[in-house]
Structures are given as C-alpha cells and as structure tokens.
Amino acid sequence: MRLDKWGCQQRGEAPVSSSISRRDSRQHERVRDMMTPIRDVFCQYIESKRLFLSIAERCSIKGWPDRRAALQNSFRLQQLFNEREALRFDHLMNYHRFMVGDWKSLQTICARLEQGWSAREEEALRHVNSRYDDLEREILACQASQDPEALDEPLRAVQRDSEYVSARDAVSRRTLELDKHLARIRHTGRDSG
C-alpha cells in the first residue's frame, strides 16, 4: 500500500479488506465500491485544511514576526494532527469496517477519528505503520513546547487579516461542498442495495 505525503492511500489501490462470509460479499462489494470516493473526499478535506493552515500561519507571522517560533510550532502541531487524522482514516478504511454512520459527514468522520478512536485501534495502527509512532512522538514534542501566551494576541489579530478571512471562508465552503458530496455517495450506496 502506498500513501501520499498526508498519509492517504494513493488513488487506484484497492483497500485491504477483512475476511467476510459469502452471504456478506454483496454488501461488502457495495461498501468497497463506495470507499474510494469516500477516501477521495476525505483526502480533499485534509488537503484543504493543510492549505488553510499554511495561509493562516503566514498571515499570523506577518503580523507578529517576534512570535514566529511559537506560531510555527502551533501550526506545525495542527499539520501533524491532520496527518494523524489521515493515517487513522486510512487504517479504518483498510483494516476495519468503517460503518456508514461514521462517514455521514466530515464532522462525524473526524469525531470517529478522535473521540471514537480506541486503544485497540491505536495499538494496531502503531503495529502496521512505523510513521504513526514517529508522528505521535512529534505531536508530543510540539505540545510540550507550546507557548499559549505567545499565541493569544497573534491568533486574535489574524481574525482581522483579509487574506486569512478569505482562506477561512474558502475552507468552510469547501467543507460544505465535500459534505454534500458525501451525502450523494451515501444516497447512491443506499439506492444500489
């Protein structure tokens, strides 16, 4: 399995599936056929967040160059969280049944990847993906060096930056578009059963 730089499985590769009984094979094929577009939507979502964070970081630093190190660390942490989401998502898509309710919207997918993430899944992902261990260590290091007081003013001030506001609005619109696309995928999946 090849992953792109954000941890998403590259297009065109069939997801690894768990063993299934013959009576479930039709349902499994229908779900598998929906997985690729779902994966594509989620990877587009991760990419849109990555682009937004790059703009937000640049806008924050331009207004507060003396807080560059604290801001870079904070935005790096957010990028690492995105990468972790992508790795967890692919893990669920490849090794577990990702239940239909889990991908009702990007919000429900993200909730599943954070609040719904189990210790068992954590252990399994660490076992099959060495990058995940490195990522978790880097997240802990960034969290340990956070300086919240240095971030308050710049993050409040950036809310008035026109480039930031435009990027924030664009990522919000893109998220809504992707949620609509997920709804169409779900609708199509229900109709084909």
Instruction: Specify the number of domains making up the chain.
Output: 1
Q: How far is CA 63 from the centre of its chain?
A: 28
pLDDT digits (tens, 9 = 90+) for 12-41: 444 444 444 555 566 556 556 667 888 999
pLDDT digits (tens, 9 = 90+) for 133-143: 999 999 999 99
Secondary structure string (H, E, C) spanning the chain? CCECCCCCECCCCCCCCCCCCHHHHHHHHHHHHHHHHHHHHHHHHHHHHHHHHHHHHHHHHHHCHHHHHHHHHHHHHHHHHHHHHHHHHHHHHHHCCCCHHHHCCHHHHHHHHHCCCCHHHHHHHHHHCHHHHHHHHHHHHHHHCCCHHHHHHHHHHHHHCHHHHHHHHHHHHHHHHHHHHHHHHHHHHHHCC
- Is residue 28 one of the residues assigned to a domain? no
- Is residue 12 one of the residues assigned to a domain? no
- Is residue 5 one of the residues assigned to a domain? no
- The pLDDT > 90 percentage for the chain reads 68
Question: Domain range for residue 184?
Answer: 34-191
State yes or no: pLDDT of 131 exceeds 90: yes
- Is residue 26 one of the residues assigned to a domain? no
| Interval 104-120 mean pLDDT | 93
- Is residue 167 one of the residues assigned to a domain? yes
pLDDT at residue 133, as a whole number: 94
pLDDT at residue 98, as a whole number: 67
Query: How much is the pTM?
Result: 0.80
pLDDT digits (tens, 9 = 90+) for 55-66: 999 999 998 999
Please, are residues 46 and 6 in contact by the beta-carbon 8 Å criterion?
A: yes
State yes or no: pLDDT of 192 exceeds 50: no
- Is residue 75 one of the residues assigned to a domain? yes
